[in-house]
Chains A and B, each alone.
Chain A
Amino acid sequence: MYIVEMGILELKQTLNGHRGRVWNVCWHPNGTCLASCGEDKTIIIWGQQDPKWVVKTILTEGHTRTIREIAWSPCGNYIASASFDSTTAVWDNKSGQFECNATLEGHENEVKSVSWSCSGQLLATCSRDKSVWIWEVNDDEYECAAVINAHTQDVKKVRWHPNEEVVASTSYDNTVKIFKEDPGDNDWSCIATLSSHTSTVWSLAWNKEGNQIATCSDDQTVKIWQEYKPDNEPGIVTPNNESVWKCVCTITGYHTRTIYDIDWCKTTGLLVTACGDDIIRIFKEDSDSDPHQLSFTMVCSMDTAHTQDVNCVQWHPTIPGQLASASDDGSVKIWFYNE
């Protein structure tokens, strides 16, 4: 008999400032501020004025339609924003205040996600036009390095590996794909396709080491995928000397509607999910989990975390247990998870 110790998710503060649906939140890499964006076409940067979080800056006029996602660069000096207006904007605060100094055009329609590589030298974007674009960053110039047409439907999310130039994407075509540059011809190609979700895969999160990916879907499950490199211990065959990714865990029976987002805490290893049933849930890997067939237990379920769909959840980069969420109810919330 496994005894589950349930933790408590404590609401620290509700941040009201957006008009309408909030799609996304993103912590600054050093955790001192938080950016959020949504239907009102603005980006709000929130900062801490002890003990409260307050609006520091509101960025407007960068986009003409919904801002779907924002991402801080690893150096913390830039914010990239992906919009339904089919562009990606890059904001920098060199002058002391954020200004939109580059607009990346090329996608045919809505840009849904944007992500910086660990070095900050590459940017990935994806769109309803089914493509993933890789952009090279050189002194504030952004040049398209590749257009990857691998998915058969909208691409919902792109996320870079935590320390390698490898990028993963999730799609309305129910798959997850992993892309890498071929050093021979500088072409970006798909090195793995992860199939077993039965509906749209909305989001993904890498673990700290980058050898596992957690994905969440409209099929109301979370899946954990694990990389098996050539010459791996259990002897899993790796054709063409490329890693093989296998689904090693399916978390099912908890979520009652679409799971819109998932994040993997780099310090505690906890998983958090944002669901269309208004609940934020936290999962922990069991101590006796089989390394090739992982098992996770739900350690927290926050009913009515928001009054409408939870769209986004993100762990704080440095304070273990702290997280932020965004919802259709127009609010951003800051939480603290106590084990």
Chain B
Amino acid sequence: MLSFLRKISIGGRIKDGVPTSDEMEAVEDCLDAKNRGLISQSNTELKESVYGKLIKFKIIIDLLRTIKDPEKPQTLEQLDVVYEDCVEILRQTPKGVSIIRIEFNPTVPHCSLATLIGLCIRVKLERHLVALFKLDIFIKKGAHSTEQEINKQINDKERIAAAMENPNLRELVEKCIQEEE
């Protein structure tokens, strides 16, 4: 876990610099808190501190990496569809609601399941993250032949809501986002 967190910080996403070992300990403590089921409190109280941001990254990436590909046996992480710097947390709305931006890289430029992957990412994050946030999901620039069309579709909440009421689609999504213990 430590090495993973270091990797994020070295990746330059944390503007406040690489956390010191003391800070890392604090992060570890918070993660323990999360494991004890205090995820919501730790998430909202910590807000945009370095620790808070790190924890959010860690939580989000952990949720994404285990999503299964709709047609292959591997996970999105194993197929490099999601990767460590695919998550960006911006702070935008006046009352401090985080805007989470997820980018993903479909395995092939004409991947017919890119929309479904986008749907899985959205449903899983919306179901598991407790704090208030806004989610924007995009295909990695240049990674898909109909990138614009798919981006528009996976960010239209009315279409997403309707898709999730379609029993067949819902079953597909549930299969992909099911957590194996």
Hey, which bits of chain A sit against chain B, CB under 8 A?
Answer: 21, 39, 65-66, 68, 84, 109-110, 112, 128, 154, 156, 172, 199-200, 218, 256-257, 276-279, 303-304, 307-309
Contacts and interface: CB of A to CB of B under 8 A. Distances in A.
A310 B162 CA distance: 18
Interface in B67-101: 92-95, 97
A307 B134 CA distance: 11
A307 B132 contact: yes
A156 B93 contact: no
B159 interface: yes
Interface stretch (B9-17, B109-117, B137-145, B150-158): B150-158
Contacts of A276: 134
B40 to A, nearest CB: 14
Contacts of B134: 257, 276-277
Nearest to B153: A172
A276 B157 CA distance: 10
Contacts of B165: 65-66, 84
Contacts of B132: 307-308
A110 B95 contact: no
A319 B104 CA distance: 49
Nearest to B99: A257
Counting chain A CB atoms within 10 Å of each CB, the highest count among B94, B158, B161 belongs to: B158
B167 to A, nearest CB: 10
A184 B162 CA distance: 39
**Chain A interface main SS type:** loop
8 contacts: A66-B161, A109-B162, A128-B162, A199-B152, A218-B156, A276-B134, A278-B95, A279-B93
B146 to A, nearest CB: 14
Contact of A303 (B94, B158, B159): B94
A200 B152 contact: yes
A154 B157 contact: no
Contact of B159 (A21, A128, A199, A279): A128
Contacts of A65: 162, 165
Contacts of A66: 161-162, 165
Contacts of B159: 128, 154
B157 A277 contact: no
A109 B158 CA distance: 13
B93 A277 contact: yes
A198 B50 CA distance: 37
A278 B97 contact: yes
Contacts of A156: 158
A309 B94 contact: no
A256 B91 CA distance: 12
A156 B152 CA distance: 14
A110 B93 contact: no
B161 A39 contact: yes
B162 A110 contact: yes
Contact of A84 (B97, B156, B157, B162): B162
A303 B162 contact: no
B119 to A, nearest CB: 15
B93 A112 contact: no
A6 to B, nearest CB: 15
A279 B94 CA distance: 9
A172 B158 CA distance: 11
B150 to A, nearest CB: 13
A128 B160 CA distance: 12
Nearest to A84: B162
A278 B165 CA distance: 25
Given A128-B162, A218-B156, 4 more contacts: A154-B159, A303-B95, A304-B95, A309-B157
Contacts of B92: 256, 277
A200 B152 CA distance: 9
Contacts of B156: 172, 200, 218
Counting chain B CB atoms within 10 Å of each CB, the highest count among A156, A303, A304 belongs to: A304
Nearest to A38: B161
Contacts of A172: 152, 156
B93 A256 contact: yes
A8 B2 CA distance: 50
Nearest to B96: A304
A302 to B, nearest CB: 11
Nearest to B158: A112
Nearest to A39: B161
Counting chain B CB atoms within 10 Å of each CB, the highest count among A199, A277, A303 belongs to: A277
B136 to A, nearest CB: 9
A68 B162 CA distance: 10
Contacts of A278: 93, 95, 97
Counting chain B CB atoms within 10 Å of each CB, the highest count among A68, A109, A278 belongs to: A278
A175 to B, nearest CB: 14
A282 to B, nearest CB: 16
A112 B152 CA distance: 18
